[in-house]
């Protein structure tokens, strides 16, 4: 145990002191920056990097929201990962809200140690402000974002690395209803003598259910791998009802490098869909030829107990069933929702990257 705690202490020192990145802010095309001054966190000004989905202006639907810690470093990465995984069909359109600090010459190293840590640690006298920061998010930030954008208040994700990952796991066990999914890359689990276990234990003693998803990663070459694996095993062994946990040690990866795969895989996990094995009579209801608005023919066939969507002789999607009427492909963004009229399938809503249309059935 002493060895683990020593490793954790060394890890935390490198996290808080050695993570600084001195670089000028660069505006990201397609995004916007808003400012919000908190009355809860000592009048702190926060800068919010906002990315809206491409079809946002012409849509009436509400969107999931990804809340990203340390936006001053990670907003460009999150924007890029979102575009990649959305195009490939793994995640839906969403709004990204990156949170960083405003004001005159903000010091992210000091401010993140204040806002992301649940307890005061003597080496960092400003630490221990996580509860206030959570109050800011819940009472000030959420209403602010909801007043400006079309948000799905039942579908929020919290994502962070290092101290941001610590903050995500702390939030899961102290305010479990704030977010639907939590992504923690290289979480600083060793903070203040592994105090995370205290919060988890308190929750476990009150409740046995925890409706959320948690994705955690750590780099293979990091010094804290044994402690990370212990935490992962501990949480999995609790067998919380409705809590889905997935963790991974990333091969030949260091501390900061866990963000790329950790964030991307975490988003995939948050929106991982079921694949139902439907009987042939159900699937056969949808086979036949359909026609797009432009007159192009699409054929739905039953092959190897799955539906295939043919846009041409050599252009097909293998479809997976999310429900009896909803199907999706994994090769790229492609969703089909079949509709019925007078008890018969009359077509499907066809969602592809950047385009939505109703495709009418023309023959069996």
What CA–CA distance (Å, rounded) separates 268 from 173?
A: 22
Q: 46: which strand partners?
A: 36, 101
Task: Look at residue 6 in the predicted model and tell me its pLDDT.
Answer: 38
What CA–CA distance (Å, rounded) separates 333 from 90?
A: 7
Name the superfamily (CATH) of residues 2-270.
Answer: Alpha/Beta hydrolase fold, catalytic domain (3.40.50.1820)
Which letter does DSSP use for residue 184 in this model?
E
Candidates 279, 282, 298, 280; CA nearest to 290 is 298
What CA–CA distance (Å, rounded) separates 152 from 27?
A: 26
What values do phi and psi take at 32, rounded to 5? -140, 155
E strands, 175-296, are 181-185, 209-219, 241-250, 288-291
Candidates 122, 201, 218; CA nearest to 166 is 218
Q: Where along the chain do its domains lie?
A: 2-270, 280-363
DSSP-derived pairing of the beta strands 241-250 and 288-291: unpaired
If you search the block for the tokens 């909803």, which residue do you land on?
Answer: 326
> Do the domains 2-270 and 280-363 sit in the same CATH topology, yes or no?
no
Task: Look at residue 13 in the predicted model and tell me its pLDDT.
Answer: 42
- What CATH topology corresponds to 280-363? Lipocalin (2.40.128)
List the pLDDT tens digit at each of the 364 positions of the chain: 444 443 344 444 444 434 444 445 556 777 899 999 999 999 999 999 999 998 899 889 999 999 999 999 999 999 999 999 999 999 999 999 999 999 999 999 999 999 999 999 999 999 999 999 999 999 999 999 999 999 999 999 999 999 999 999 999 999 999 999 999 999 999 999 999 999 999 999 999 999 999 999 999 999 999 999 999 999 999 999 999 999 999 999 999 999 999 999 999 999 999 999 999 999 999 999 999 999 999 999 999 999 999 999 999 999 999 999 999 998 889 999 999 999 899 999 999 988 899 999 999 8
């Amino acid at each position: 145990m002493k060895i683990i705690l020593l490793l954790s202490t060394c890890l935390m020192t490198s996290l808080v002191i050695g993570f600084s990145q001195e670089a000028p802010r660069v505006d990201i095309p397609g995004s916007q920056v808003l400012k919000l001054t908190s009355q809860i966190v000592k009048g702190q000004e926060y800068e919010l990097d906002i990315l809206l989905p491409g079809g946002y202006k012409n849509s009436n639907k509400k969107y999931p929201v990804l809340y990203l810690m340390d936006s001053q470093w990670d907003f460009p990465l999150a924007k890029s990962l979102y575009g990649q995984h959305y195009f490939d069909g793994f995640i839906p359109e969403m709004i990204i809200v990156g949170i960083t600090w405003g004001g005159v010459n903000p010091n992210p190293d000091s401010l993140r140690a204040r806002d992301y840590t649940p307890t005061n640690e003597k080496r960092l006298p400003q630490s221990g402000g996580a509860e206030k920061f959570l109050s800011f998010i819940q009472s000030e930030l959420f209403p602010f974002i909801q007043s400006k954008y079309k948000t799905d208040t039942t579908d929020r994700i919290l994502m962070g690395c290092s101290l941001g990952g610590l903050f995500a796991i702390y939030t899961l066990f102290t305010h479990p209803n704030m977010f639907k999914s939590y992504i923690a890359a290289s979480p600083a689990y060793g903070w203040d003598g592994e105090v995370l276990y205290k919060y988890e234990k308190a929750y476990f003693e009150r409740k046995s259910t925890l409706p959320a998803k948690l994705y955690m990663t750590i780099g293979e070459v990091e010094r804290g791998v044994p402690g990370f694996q212990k935490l992962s095993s501990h949480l999995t062994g609790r067998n919380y009802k409705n809590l889905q946990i997935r963790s991974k040690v990333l091969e030949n990866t260091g501390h900061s490098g866990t963000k790329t795969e950790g964030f991307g895989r975490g988003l995939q996990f948050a929106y991982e869909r079921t694949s139902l094995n439907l009987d042939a009579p159900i699937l056969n209801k949808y086979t036949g030829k359909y026609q797009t608005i432009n007159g192009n023919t699409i054929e739905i066939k039953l092959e190897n107990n799955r539906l295939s969507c043919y846009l041409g002789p050599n252009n097909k999607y293998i479809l997976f069933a999310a429900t009896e009427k909803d199907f999706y492909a994994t090769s790229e963004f492609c969703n089909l929702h079949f509709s019925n009229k007078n008890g018969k399938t009359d077509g499907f809503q066809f969602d592809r990257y950047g385009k939505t249309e109703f495709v009418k059935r023309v023959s069996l």
